[in-house]
Structures are given as C-alpha cells and as structure tokens.
C-alpha cells in the first residue's frame, strides 16, 4: 500500500481518509490553508501521520513567500491533542535557517523514520502480546484506527496485527466502529480487509460484552499523547475499554512511537482534549440524528490512567514511566 502521506511536485500528497472506504483518492495540498483544512477535517489523521503532516506543512510554507513561523504556528494548532503534530512542525522548523531544501529534507527523513519506528514498536508489542496472552491463535480488539492510515505507512496498534497475522497467530480482530467519525468501521476494517485479516465490526458499546463472553484475548490501541507517568490520551472510548479490560482480566496494550511521549507533562491531567463540532453527533451524511437544537458533549479523546494499562510499547520496547 502506498504511503498515507508523502511529498510530490511541491505538494503534500495524502490519501483522503474522509472518502474511505468507498473511494480511494489522493489529495494534493499546495498551501498551508489546504493542509490545515485537511487536518481539521481528518482527511489526514492519526498522531504519527499528523507529525508527518506538520513537518511537510512547514516545508510547504518554507517554499512560499509567507511568514513561515506564523504559518507553522497555524499548523501546530490545527488539532491540540496529538503531540506529534507540534513535534513534527518544530522538527522541520529547526532547519529553517538552512533554507527550504533543508526543511524538506528533514521532513522526508521524518517520514522514513516513522515507518521504521512504528514497524519496530509494533514488532516489540507483538512479543508483549504473545507473552501476556497464552491462548492461540489470538482474538484481538481494536479501537479507532491506529493502522497504516494513522501513520506514514506501517501502523502502530494495527502494526501488531500485521506481525502476528504473518505468523498465523490471529484468529479474529473485533473492530470497534468508533463513533462518531467511525475510524474503526471505515478505516480499520478497510485495512484489515486489504490484508485478508479475519475481523468483525462491532458497536463500541459491544466491547465490554465481547470481553464478558470471552471473545477478547487482548485490547490493542494507539495513542495521541502519553504523559511522563504513562497516562494515555487516545480516541474517546479508550478509557471505558481499559476499565472493562481490567474488570475482565484482559490485557490492554498501547502501541506508539516514542515521539508520542510528552515528557513535559507529569501526568494526563495536563493533556488538552479536542472538542469537536456538534454536527458530528447531530447528523450523519446530512441526515438529522437528534432533534433540532440538541446540545452535545463531543470530546475527541479521553485519558486512560497508566494504572489501567498493561503495557505501553514504543520502538524502545516497554515504556517505563
Ligand atoms: C496511531 S495514532 C492513532 C490515533 O489517532 C486517532 O485519533 P484521530 O482519528 O482523531 O486522529 C485515534 O486516537 C488513534 O488511536
């Protein structure tokens, strides 16, 4: 599969994730405005992919007659929770003094590293899952999308599935649909189908019942920001999954590159949680889902305390707070 995000002909090229699973189409982003819009619409999404978007966005700005520092700030602030976005911006911005080509070279190096780091992190995590889960083959549960589409190309939590599936060790993946934007139903199911991995899509509300019925050997999730004490910000619903997993004695494994760890935060209480547009809940494809005027609570992420996490695994292995 091609990279989720790349650079070609002086443009940031992304797979338009809002069009999947029905249409596979590319978007060529030639301005910072187009990039910020794509980030905010989740046409490009997922912490590592956002890190790459941040770096390539600075490369885009550096080649145009704009205030690069100001444009970099707009990109970094496009979505607040995933630490990787600002991290990617800062990394590319650090080369600005050496000129636009140096900024682009740094951004492209970040893309190559992302694929390698997520492949390594997920390989380590696969061994952790095998050690924590005696039953074979494995029945896994995923939430949101932490696959190829959430990174430059390999995937973090779903990267574990690629490693285990290649060894014939996956019986099934239960895919949380992940309301309201359905990253699981639309994106994770699409990726698993591409790789012929057995899977079933389920309502997010079925996850605890699946565990109660013994259908889950391990929960696998990605992360958007990990605090120094191991608290994990991830897609809304992750915290409830962790509580259910602890209640049912199911291992709960978080997979992320170390660029997702924010050591400036002592714990998860300091993580900014993105609140998203009410229309994501009040309508779908233009069809009203609630009475007119209904108010909503639509946080895009929640924070899972490290005490509920079996392991956080990066390219360095188990993360130890
Ligand atoms: C591998 S990071 C994936 C992470 O990002 C997702 O959020 P969003 O779809 O809003 O970008 C979700 O939290 C995933 O776990």
ipTM, two decimals, is 0.98
Euclidean distance between CA atoms 100 and 92, whole angstroms = 10
Whether 318 has a binding-site annotation, put simply, is: no
Whether 98 has a binding-site annotation, put simply, is: no
pLDDT at position 26 is 98
Residue from 176, 204, 217, 224 carrying the catalytic annotation: 224
* 49 CB near ligand 1 (under 6 Å): no
> Could you tell me the distance, in angstroms and rounded to a whole number, from the CA of residue 51 to the centre of ligand 1?
12
Among protein residues, the one whose CA lies closest to atom 15 of ligand 1: 222
pLDDT at position 65 is 83
**CA proximity to 310, closest of 211, 233, 230, 226:** 230
> Could you tell me the distance, in angstroms and rounded to a whole number, from the CA of residue 45 to the centre of ligand 1?
7
- Confirm whether 23 is a catalytic residue: no
Percent of the chain whose pLDDT exceeds 70: 100
Overall fold of domain 5-113: 1.20.120
Q: What are phi and psi of 221, to 5 degrees?
A: -135, 160
pLDDT at position 226 is 98
User: Across-strand partners of 27?
Assistant: 14
Q: Are 233 and 223 in contact (CB under 8 A)?
A: yes
Q: Residues 6 or more apart from 15 whose CB is under 8 A from it?
A: 2, 4, 5, 24, 25, 26, 27, 44, 149
> What tens digit of pLDDT does each residue of 254-301 get?
999 999 999 999 999 999 999 999 999 999 999 999 999 999 999 999
DSSP 8-state code for residue 258: G
CATH architecture, range 121-318: 3-Layer(aba) Sandwich (3.40)
Pocket test for ligand 1, best of 18, 183, 276 (most atoms within 8 A of CB): 183
Among protein residues, the one whose CA lies closest to atom 13 of ligand 1: 235
Q: What is the pTM of this model?
A: 0.98
Euclidean distance between CA atoms 105 and 127, whole angstroms = 34
Start and end residues for every CATH 1.20.120.420 domain found in the chain: 5-113
Euclidean distance between CA atoms 146 and 309, whole angstroms = 17
pLDDT at position 7 is 98
Euclidean distance between CA atoms 185 and 196, whole angstroms = 15
Whether 240 has a binding-site annotation, put simply, is: no
Whether 25 has a binding-site annotation, put simply, is: no
> What tens digit of pLDDT does each residue of 224-253 get?
999 999 999 999 999 999 999 999 999 999
* Mean of all residue pLDDT scores within the chain: 97
Give, in order, the Cα–Cα distances in Å from 319 to each of 8, 144, 152, 159: 35, 22, 22, 17
> Could you tell me the distance, in angstroms and rounded to a whole number, from the CA of residue 49 to the centre of ligand 1?
9
pLDDT at position 119 is 98
**CA proximity to 273, closest of 299, 239, 248:** 299
Start and end residues for every CATH 3.40.50.10470 domain found in the chain: 121-318
Hey, what's the torsion of the CAs at 196, 198, 199, 200, to 10 degrees? 120
The helix/strand/coil state of 142 is strand
């Amino acid at each position: 599969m091609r990279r989720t995000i790349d650079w070609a002909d002086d443009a940031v090229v992304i797979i338009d994730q809002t069009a999947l699973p029905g249409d596979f189409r590319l978007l060529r982003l030639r301005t910072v405005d187009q990039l910020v819009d794509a980030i905010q619409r989740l046409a490009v999404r997922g912490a590592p992919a956002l890190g790459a978007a941040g770096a390539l966005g600075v490369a885009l700005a550096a080649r145009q007659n704009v205030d690069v520092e100001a444009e970099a700030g707009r990109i970094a602030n496009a979505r607040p929770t995933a630490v990787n976005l600002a991290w990617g911006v800062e990394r590319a911005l650090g080369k600005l003094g050496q000129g636009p080509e140096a900024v682009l070279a740094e951004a492209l190096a970040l893309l190559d590293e992302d694929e390698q780091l997520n492949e390594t992190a997920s390989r380590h995590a696969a061994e952790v899952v095998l050690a924590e889960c005696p039953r074979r083959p494995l029945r896994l549960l995923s939430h949101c999308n932490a696959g190829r589409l959430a990174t430059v190309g390999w995937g973090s939590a779903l990267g574990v599935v690629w490693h285990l599936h290649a060894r014939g060790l996956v019986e099934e993946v239960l895919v949380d649909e992940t309301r309201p934007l359905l990253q699981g139903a639309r994106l994770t199911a699409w990726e698993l189908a591409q790789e012929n991995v057995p899977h079933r899509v389920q309502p997010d509300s079925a996850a605890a019942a699946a565990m109660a019925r013994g259908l889950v050997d391990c929960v696998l999730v990605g992360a958007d920001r990990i605090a120094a004490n191991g608290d994990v910000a991830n897609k809304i619903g992750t915290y409830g999954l962790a509580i259910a997993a602890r209640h049912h004695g199911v291992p709960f494994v978080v997979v992320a590159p170390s660029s997702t760890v924010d050591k400036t935060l002592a714990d998860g209480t300091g993580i900014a949680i993105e609140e998203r547009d009410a229309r994501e809940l009040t309508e779908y494809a233009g069809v009203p889902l609630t009475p007119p005027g209904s108010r909503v609570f639509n946080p895009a992420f929640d924070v899972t305390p490290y005490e509920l996490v079996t392991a956080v695994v990066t390219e360095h292995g188990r993360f130890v707070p």
